[in-house]
Chains A and B, each alone.
Chain A
């Protein structure tokens, strides 16, 4: 279950792999609290495009024909990451994510730099997103419950680059699970 609202909870422990995890403290900047939902597409967002190759566990961010950035990611291991063409429908500086069950249960406050995406087949309420992951460092290998995990420094870079809502995200390939 994902929260689609800004939520910062410093000094709260999280859970991952049934083990406690201490989230990083987040100090919000004024821009972090501005609403960033359902904005109109702009010419900038039309040029920006994010590709995620599940088989290589790589993310590529293009500005027109120019590669802006690429990095390793971790996609779904315990639940598959959907494939297809999506659009980012909201950006949130941080929120809480929880789900799974048994050994796969997770409850993670302060998930940083979250960019939720959806399309006609995968509803926004499904909660799929690109975001930073502070609880593991196994990028380049499937390690998520369906979201696209990145190192926090990489997620921050993409988050700040995505100029507005509506940026296209294309996910393709077969994850090595």
Chain B
């Protein structure tokens, strides 16, 4: 019995030493591993996709003087510039028709002048400001083209070809259903005469009085 107990005690003691030693070693390795692991933990992307923030669309409308039509401008900033969409619609918003769309760099701005509408709602004009020159484009409200080559008339381009001694200062509005009022300046920067731009013949008529 005693011999049995001694052997059993030795066996238990040995097992205890081995067990404690194992625990010490594994705990040290665990600590070491944890330390190393935490420093080299790779960063995984979140499993939930982050949606791209959409660019806001800014919408403005300009009523025709008689209230029967409206010109709708939708402006959306993109990575490369601004996309301008121009459409026309009835007073109620019905029959909306896309007329013109353009993406321009940030230093080129398209605007709707206050007097954009022709008095009988047949045309509208836009202003494009660029670092070098201001363009004025005339469109049919219906969206139809002025010619096979172009949907719109660029007044600035025509004026520069026909009257290079003057530069367009501004286009203020409509003198009647087909006449746009064009104010000019001279090459020296002085005030120039006013003209009527006649859409029916793409001609410029110099006026005796200035339309300020």
Contact = CB atoms under 8 A, between A and B. Distances in A.
Interface stretch (B8-16, B27-35, B60-68, B80-88): B60-68
A177 B65 CA distance: 23
B191 interface: no
A137 interface: yes
Interface in B149-178: 172-177
A166 B176 CA distance: 33
B201 to A, nearest CB: 13
A87 interface: no
A119 to B, nearest CB: 27
Contacts of A142: 211-212
B120 interface: yes
Nearest to B181: A138
A153 B173 contact: no
A137 B179 contact: no
Contact of B177 (A21, A24, A140): A21
Interface string A151-166: 1110010000000000
A72 interface: yes
B66 A152 contact: yes
B63 A137 contact: no
Majority DSSP secondary structure for residues of A touching B: loop
A22 interface: yes
Contacts of B120: 22
B212 A137 contact: no
A72 B63 CA distance: 14
B179 A176 contact: no
B134 interface: no
Contacts of A141: 172-173, 181, 211-212
A139 B115 contact: yes
B141 interface: no
Given A153-B66, A177-B212, A140 B172 contact: yes
Contacts of B209: 77
24 contacts: A17-B176, A17-B179, A19-B176, A21-B176, A135-B119, A135-B176, A136-B119, A136-B173, A136-B174, A136-B175, A137-B65, A137-B115, A137-B118, A137-B173, A137-B174, A138-B173, A138-B174, A138-B181, A140-B115, A142-B211, A151-B65, A151-B66, A153-B66, A156-B67
Given A19-B176, A140-B114, 13 more contacts: A17-B175, A17-B176, A17-B179, A21-B176, A137-B118, A137-B174, A138-B181, A140-B115, A141-B211, A141-B212, A142-B212, A143-B175, A151-B65
